[in-house]
Amino acid sequence: MSHRLPKGGRLIDRSKSQNFTFNGKSMAGFQGDTVAASLLANDQMLLGRSFKYHRPRGVVAAGAEEPNALLGLGQSNRYEPNQSATTTELFDGLEAVSQNHWPSLEFDLLSVNNLVPQFLTAGFYYKTFLRPRAFWKHVYEPLIRRSAGLGKAPAPDARDPDRYEQIYAFTDILVLGGGIAGLQAALAAGQSGAKVTLWEQTAHWGGRAPVDGAQIDGQPAQDWINATVARLHAMDNVQLRTRCMGAGVHDHGYVLGYERVADHMPGADTPRHRLWRMRARQIITATGAIERPLSFAGNDVPGVMLASALRDYIVNYAVAPGARIVVVTNNDDAYRSAIAAHDAGLDVAAIIDPRAVASGDLPARARALGIEVLEGRAIRKVKGGKRVTGVEICRQDSSGGAVERSIDCDAVAMSGGWSPVVHLWSHCGGKLLWDEAGSYFRPDPARPPLGADGAGFVRACGAANGELLDVLSDAHRCARMAADAVGANGQPDAAPQATAPAEAPMQPVWMMPAQASYDLRMKMWLDYQNDVKVSDVQLSAREGYQSVEHTKRYTTLGMATDQGKLSNINGLAILSDALGQPIPATGTTTFRPPYTPISIAAIAGEARGAIFQPLRRSPVHDWHADHGAEWEPVGQWRRPFAYLRTGESRHDAVNREVKNTRENVGLLDASTLGKILVRGPDAGRFLDMLYTNMISTLKPGKCRYGLMCNENGFLMDDGVVARLDGDSFLVHTTSGGADHIHAWMEDWLQCEWWDWQVHTVNLTEQFAQFAVVGPKARVLLDRLGGMDVSRDALPFMEWRDGMLGGFDARVFRISFSGELSFEIAVPAGQGRAFWDRLVTEGADLGLMPYGTEALHILRAEKGFIMIGDETDGTVIPQDLGLDWAISKKKADFLGKRGMEREAMVNPDRWKLVGVETLDGSVLPHAALAVTGGKNANGQAQTEGRVTSTYYSANLGRGIAMALVRNGPDRMGDVLSFAGDDGKDIKARIIDPVLIDKEGAKQNV
Amino acid sequence: MLILTCPCCGVTAEETEFSPGGEAHLKRYGPGSPDRDYESYMFNRKNPRGVHFERWRHTYGCGKWFLAARCTITLEVFGTYRAQTTEPPADIIAAIKARRPEWEGFA
Amino acid sequence: MSDRETSALPGAHFAGFVTVSEAGLRGMITLRGDLSSDAIAGALADVTGLDMPAQRCVNSAGDMAAAWMSPDELLLMLPYDQAGAMAQKLAQALAGEFATVANVSDARAVFTLQGAGVFDALAKICPVDFSEFDQGEIRRTRAAQVAAAVWMSGADQVTVVCFRSVAQYMFDLLSAAAAPGSEPALYT
């Protein structure tokens, strides 16, 4: 059984007990434990069920590579599924639950999948659920949904109460990984004078050197680590950060760092995660290496773990994964685990070594301790279900038919050799070499990821570089090269010397025994989390999958949350063997960020709640909010859709606003309209190019409505231009179009007509602008006083500057409703006071503010188009009957060439008309006029579509505009519009101008 | 994510401060131009594997458009330069040639 | 100035590991033209007494400052109630030049950040290396999702300017960045 040892544990503080629960059961651990360590200390070997077969699973690893030990952590709003027990620090009050079982962890009905594993072989999903088709929805999908997947999502109404943030940082040299390689690299780089940042993903410096018993400069590794960390802390040019993982290396030295600030102290008044958006000139990966499992039957039974993990648990946490241990290894390093177990007082039953001879220093030391070493042998099979009970031994060079011996044990420590962590090197295009001696891929220094200057910007060092033994001098050399690359030329101290026992060569062992029979191979797990076995990869090769990328997707090898950290090389080796080619010919799958999963909340950062996105507020936003405004998003602006009075529906409010504006006076906040000053000797010429109509002939003091098209000739924006003086024009754009049109102007001025003398200034936010609209509009303005706004003093389509009621005003006599109408601009800072004044002065005139819906209805009653309703990026002005606004005199304007194309002059284009339903009802939005036939694709034939549709309170019926084939020539025709309920709606083509066609109302 | 240096204000910044604007050095064809020229101006774009010239705007900075010479394979930036030119200036051409001797030149 | 004018968020204030305060109304004038020309520099000096700032620099004297915004755009900052008259004077001085003067005093919101950790707060929202940021330099950049300009306006003090319509977003953003307990210890 797994248990806590009576003494030892370099990372735990036995004086600080931490209580937690697992599946509701109370347990205790110590401060410094990981969740995995504390569970093992409580003899909780079984932690979850596998993805496909629901096999019982326990801890395999002690770090980021763990595939099995995924738990649901926390409660309600803080519940999170799929959290790794090996990388989560224990804290008092932690609540953990196991995942992927039904009804319980101990008794899982779905483990029936396990009894017939032939059923779920590679490509199972592709092959099995094809027929009958009707079964998919009612049988297969519910079944798969119950049996597959890992943790459960948090409740839909759960809201994460924690804070998250991002931060931008810059450094010369970023060192990723705080083991002895990373520490030495940071020290040497720091001593060179460069600005250095060092990140370590765990809470501790030094990596696994202290566990492995290394000596550095004649002292224990831990002493050197402590001294080096102290030296680094004392250097002003070095920043160190623990619990911060280099998650991804991206173009031009961009690195994402995932800092788990407060995962170990939930509820603390700090951000929980912080995402570092680091820009580094040089990156040193000191990410170490990951031990590989061995492929033998039953290598997934709880109690089988990596040899390095076993000694991590013993040395770091004083946790013994078992009382009687078998070590199985193809290399000398794992003998350290046997020695560590023996030193901790545990019974090491045997070391099984497939090599013919194990004669290095470490095997000799193990033998000297009395541990039996079985050379040339293999584990044939692990015995046990929910935990290991023993192993069967056979010859490695066999099919496993003959069991030589059985050994009782409750833990198996396995090692298939080590693989450098090349992920961060590879993320941005760094290439790999195959290392025959170590049977792993290592970074190819000749083909690094390239930066903005075309030079390599990532260097791997130590074990991450494939230098498993000569770690410190490799890190030192690497740091000096990085320092050179950033121009830091201080002289670092000499590299320290590490001493360790000599190790004999490892022997690649991809299957155990070497000629294992099928029944053994189908119990050899490569990818624990996704339940991919040796037999699955072999099957995919037989079925013709040759590319490693295809095999990955067919078998799901390496596609789980651990992204194949343990399974990658073993799977490649099996595939290569099946394909009869060397491993480098097979190659690897692509390493993609993040290195381990990072929280979505960290990616979102601060962008949530009130600052999820910027909301643009007009100077009178608060007044609107205080007076019942329902909001309509217009770009990032929020404009009042309508102002709801107490007890009033939206519909009622809109009708009231529409009627009141035509009968009394309405007030519209038009501050969001774009206002761009265009000024300079060539301003008129420039605007003649931008607008389809002539602008340069406009006289100062006057306004003109104009259209802007893109170079396709498609209508893009519209608005009123006012000429301020000989050189100056004020261009009004749509609310959503201001930034785009300003950028569009600057593009042409900077990139095409750069010799034209024109300046633009975006004045959109300088002014609050209000429309005072309706028969009593002039009365209201006269009350304010200060400016003559009479018909003669301020005719239609003119503007005047002056003081109005004591405010600095520019008054435009323009109308988007057909009513007597003034738009008044005042400096934004005066906007609220001016609005309040209008509301007060207008009260007894029946003044009511109106929103965007009333604005739309008022303009539709007059047949005025709206950009975004009547236009959709494929409509030319001629489609809308706006030929009058297209100059025939101008040799050129933007869009003119586009309008010359055949399709644009086709007489059959859909053109704008009004339509009214025969029964007075309101047409559905975007309804299509159907002719009854079908087109070549079997779709209904159409001859038009609704672009705007409203209920008009003034007319007492539905009104609409539509684009209809030859529409203007078909006045009076009745069309059939497809209704939402499948029934057609009859509507007659009419003139779109429904109110005051002569313009009498606005010209008073 | 790229880093670019704006030649107009001298700031070196990450890509999020800029907006891309597609291929540089397009020639505008206006009214009366043949269909083929208009089509090339509006719709046909180079998509080279290697040296490419692009428009960028320093949207969140000085607001100016500029042009960049960049390798589409390695993302190396050979240089950035002001937009008021119909072809890459000599120093940019020289910088590209120094790094890509086999490059056939601006066409 | 009368009470008819209000700034975007009058009195807005947040005390975090740095303080965030809305700075009230500030006069601002945009001057467009070739900033490297003698005529424009001369007019600026004559009217304001300020030298033309170098690229990305702010020159200030008394309650007036001139900031280099782009090769052909200058932002003049001065007391709010002087802006109208100053804009007229500048325009007159530049008559005949290809130059544009516009009073933009109401278009923006101004915030002051005060405290030793001002860059620690700004680093969370601006992709800028503040270790290379000098007194007298102005940086136009991005603050999360909106445009902003920042400069050091005093000891441990940074001024942040954004468009008026996003003042509430900016204030909330700066407050979140300065929240107590979230000190990143990057620049401090």
Per-residue confidence (pLDDT) for residue B107, from 0 to 100 = 81
Per-residue confidence (pLDDT) for residue A129, from 0 to 100 = 60
With respect to residue A408, please indicate whether it lies within any of the assigned structural domains.
Answer: yes
- Distance from B79 to chain A by nearest Cα, in Å? 9
Is residue A108 scored above 90 in pLDDT? no
d(CA A490, CA A270): 38
Is residue A111 scored above 90 in pLDDT? no
Per-residue confidence (pLDDT) for residue A899, from 0 to 100 = 97
* Inter-chain Cβ pairs, chain A and chain C, closer than 8 A: 128
Select from C5, C97, C132, C161 the residue whose CB has the most chain A CBs within 10 Å, as the one to mutate to test that interface: C5
Asked if A991 and A863 touch (Cβ cutoff 8 Å), the reply is yes
> Residue range A277-296: average pLDDT?
98
In chain B, the residue whose alpha carbon lies closest to the alpha carbon of C129 is B13
- Residues from chain B that touch A898, judged by Cβ atoms under 8 A, are 38, 42
Is residue A831 scored above 50 in pLDDT? yes
Q: Which of C55, C128, C147 sits opposite B9 (nearest CB)?
A: C55
Cβ contact, residue pair B74, A250, below 8 Å: no
With respect to residue A862, please indicate whether it lies within any of the assigned structural domains.
Answer: no
The owner of tokens 């025969």 is A918
Domain ranges in chain C are 13-24+107-177, 27-103
Is residue A236 scored above 50 in pLDDT? yes
Please provide the average confidence, as pLDDT, over all residues in chain A. 95
With respect to residue B107, please indicate whether it lies within any of the assigned structural domains.
Answer: no
Buried b or exposed e, range A295-326, using 16+ CB within 10 angstroms: bbbbbbbbbbbbbbbbbbbbbbbbbbbbebbb
| CATH code (residue A187) | 3.50.50.60
Asked if B8 is an interface residue toward chain C (Cβ–Cβ < 8 A), one would say yes
Cβ contact, residue pair B61, C73, below 8 Å: no
Based on the fold, state whether residues A19 and A85 are members of the same structural domain. Answer: yes
Cβ contact, residue pair B62, C141, below 8 Å: no
Q: Which of C32, C167, C172 sits opposite A759 (nearest CB)?
A: C32
The pLDDT tens digits of the residues spanning A873-916 come to 999 999 999 999 999 999 999 999 999 999 999 999 999 999 99
Of A331, A308, A347, nearest to A211 (Cα)? Answer: A308
Asked if B38 is an interface residue toward chain A (Cβ–Cβ < 8 A), one would say yes
- Distance from B25 to chain C by nearest Cα, in Å? 22
Select from B53, B59, B74, B99 the residue whose CB has the most chain A CBs within 10 Å, as the one to mutate to test that interface: B74
- Residues from chain A that touch C179, judged by Cβ atoms under 8 A, are 163
With respect to residue B60, please indicate whether it lies within any of the assigned structural domains.
Answer: yes
- Distance from B29 to chain A by nearest Cα, in Å? 8
> Residue range A99-105: average pLDDT?
75
Starting at the edge strand found earlier in the chain, the sheet holding B51-57 runs B19-23, B51-57, B65-71, B77-82
Cβ contact, residue pair B84, A754, below 8 Å: yes
- Pick C13-24+107-177's CATH classification: 1.10.1840.10, 1.10.10.60, 3.40.630.30, 3.30.1360.120: 3.30.1360.120
pLDDT band at A136 (very low <50, low <70, confident <90, very high): low
Is residue A246 scored above 80 in pLDDT? yes
Single-letter residue type at B49: R
Based on the fold, state whether residues A332 and A199 are members of the same structural domain. Answer: no
Of C123, C153, C125, nearest to C137 (Cα)? Answer: C153
Cβ contact, residue pair B9, C140, below 8 Å: yes
Asked if B83 is an interface residue toward chain A (Cβ–Cβ < 8 A), one would say yes
In percent, the amount of chain A with pLDDT more than 70 equals 96
Q: Which of A169, A677, A832 sits opposite C186 (nearest CB)?
A: A169
SS3 of residue A184 by DSSP: helix
| CATH code (residue A544) | 1.10.10.1100
Based on the fold, state whether residues A662 and A642 are members of the same structural domain. Answer: yes
ipTM: 0.98
Per-residue confidence (pLDDT) for residue A152, from 0 to 100 = 84
pLDDT band at A931 (very low <50, low <70, confident <90, very high): very high
Asked if B22 is an interface residue toward chain A (Cβ–Cβ < 8 A), one would say no
Half-sphere exposure of C158 (CA within 13 A, CB side): 26
Per-residue confidence (pLDDT) for residue A48, from 0 to 100 = 87
Based on the fold, state whether residues A63 and A150 are members of the same structural domain. Answer: yes
Is residue A221 scored above 80 in pLDDT? yes
Cβ contact, residue pair C166, A616, below 8 Å: yes
Cβ contact, residue pair C126, A637, below 8 Å: no
Residue A254, both tokens: 């961009």
Structural domain harbouring B88: 3-99
Based on the fold, state whether residues A7 and A77 are members of the same structural domain. Answer: yes
- Residues from chain A that touch B32, judged by Cβ atoms under 8 A, are 897, 900
Per-residue confidence (pLDDT) for residue A151, from 0 to 100 = 81
Q: Which has the minimum average pLDDT: A108-112, A365-369, B62-66, C8-12?
A: A108-112
Based on the fold, state whether residues A261 and A380 are members of the same structural domain. Answer: no
Burial class (CB in 10 A: 0-12, 13-18, 19+), A6: exposed
d(CA B14, CA B43): 29
Based on the fold, state whether residues A248 and A333 are members of the same structural domain. Answer: no
Per-residue confidence (pLDDT) for residue C132, from 0 to 100 = 87
In percent, the amount of chain A with pLDDT more than 90 equals 90
Between these two residues, A117 and C80, which has the higher pLDDT value?
C80
With respect to residue A141, please indicate whether it lies within any of the assigned structural domains.
Answer: yes
| CATH code (residue B22) | 3.30.2270.10
> Residue range B31-46: average pLDDT?
96
Is residue A469 scored above 90 in pLDDT? no
> Residue range A424-451: average pLDDT?
97
In chain A, the residue whose alpha carbon lies closest to the alpha carbon of B58 is A743
Distance separating the N- and C-terminal Cα atoms of chain A: 97
Based on the fold, state whether residues A96 and A245 are members of the same structural domain. Answer: no
> Residue range B10-19: average pLDDT?
97
With respect to residue A312, please indicate whether it lies within any of the assigned structural domains.
Answer: yes
Chain A: partners with 3+ C-beta pairs within 8 Å: B, C
Query: DSSP assignment, residue A105?
Result: S
| CATH code (residue A958) | 2.40.30.110
Residue A846, both tokens: 């029946």
Query: How many domains does the structure of chain A reveal?
Result: 7
Per-residue confidence (pLDDT) for residue C1, from 0 to 100 = 42
Q: Which of C70, C127, C142 sits opposite B62 (nearest CB)?
A: C70
Residues of C with CB under 8 A from a CB of B: 55-56, 69-71, 73, 127-128, 139-142, 147
Look at chain A and count its residues: 1004
Per-residue confidence (pLDDT) for residue A125, from 0 to 100 = 62
In chain A, the residue whose alpha carbon lies closest to the alpha carbon of B57 is A747
pLDDT band at A284 (very low <50, low <70, confident <90, very high): very high
Is residue A352 scored above 80 in pLDDT? yes
Per-residue confidence (pLDDT) for residue A117, from 0 to 100 = 54
Is residue A134 scored above 80 in pLDDT? no
CATH topology of domain C27-103: Alpha-Beta Plaits (3.30.70)
pLDDT band at A266 (very low <50, low <70, confident <90, very high): confident
Is residue A845 scored above 60 in pLDDT? yes
Asked if A743 is an interface residue toward chain B (Cβ–Cβ < 8 A), one would say yes
Give how far Cα A180 sits from Cα of A171, A226, A484, A503, Å.
21, 11, 21, 20
Per-residue confidence (pLDDT) for residue A616, from 0 to 100 = 98
What's the helix, strand, coil split of chain A in %, to 5?
Answer: 25, 30, 45
Q: At what angle do helices A683-690 and A738-751 cross, to 10 degrees?
A: 120
> Residue range A648-668: average pLDDT?
98
Query: How many domains does the structure of chain B reveal?
Result: 1
With respect to residue A710, please indicate whether it lies within any of the assigned structural domains.
Answer: yes
- Distance from B54 to chain A by nearest Cα, in Å? 12
> Residue range A961-977: average pLDDT?
97
- Residues from chain C that touch B9, judged by Cβ atoms under 8 A, are 55-56, 70-71, 140
Structural domain harbouring A975: 904-990
Select from A168, A170, A252, A739 the residue whose CB has the most chain B CBs within 10 Å, as the one to mutate to test that interface: A252
User: What residues contact residue A608 under an 8 Å CB cut-off, 6+ apart?
Assistant: A164, A601
Query: DSSP assignment, residue A442?
Result: E
- Name residue A958's beta-bridge partners: A951
**Residue A325 falls in which region: left (phi positive, over 0), alpha (psi -120 to 50) or beta:** beta
Q: Which of B10, B14, B60 sits opposite C147 (nearest CB)?
A: B60
Per-residue confidence (pLDDT) for residue A49, from 0 to 100 = 85
> Residue range B62-66: average pLDDT?
98
The pLDDT tens digits of the residues spanning A532-553 come to 999 999 999 999 998 999 999 9
Residue A673, both tokens: 């309209």
Based on the fold, state whether residues A32 and A116 are members of the same structural domain. Answer: yes
* Inter-chain Cβ pairs, chain A and chain B, closer than 8 A: 67
In chain B, the residue whose alpha carbon lies closest to the alpha carbon of C55 is B9
Based on the fold, state whether residues A390 and A452 are members of the same structural domain. Answer: no
Chain C: partners with 3+ C-beta pairs within 8 Å: A, B
Q: Which of C71, C127, C147 sits opposite B14 (nearest CB)?
A: C127
Selected residues 34-73 of chain C with any CB under 8 Å from a CB in chain A: 72
Asked if B9 is an interface residue toward chain C (Cβ–Cβ < 8 A), one would say yes
- Residues from chain A that touch C180, judged by Cβ atoms under 8 A, are 269
Chain B: partners with 3+ C-beta pairs within 8 Å: A, C
In chain C, the residue whose alpha carbon lies closest to the alpha carbon of A828 is C106
Cβ contact, residue pair C105, A829, below 8 Å: yes
Cβ contact, residue pair A896, B31, below 8 Å: yes
Q: Which of C4, C169, C176 sits opposite A833 (nearest CB)?
A: C4
Cβ contact, residue pair B76, A754, below 8 Å: no
Of C93, C96, C92, C101, nearest to C73 (Cα)? Answer: C101
Is residue A682 scored above 70 in pLDDT? yes
Would you write out chain C's pLDDT as a tens digit for each of its 188 residues? Answer: 457 999 999 999 999 999 999 999 999 999 999 999 999 999 999 999 999 999 999 999 999 999 999 999 999 999 999 999 999 999 999 999 999 999 999 999 999 999 999 999 999 999 999 998 989 999 999 999 999 999 999 999 999 999 999 999 999 999 999 999 999 999 99
Per-residue confidence (pLDDT) for residue A131, from 0 to 100 = 62
With respect to residue A317, please indicate whether it lies within any of the assigned structural domains.
Answer: yes
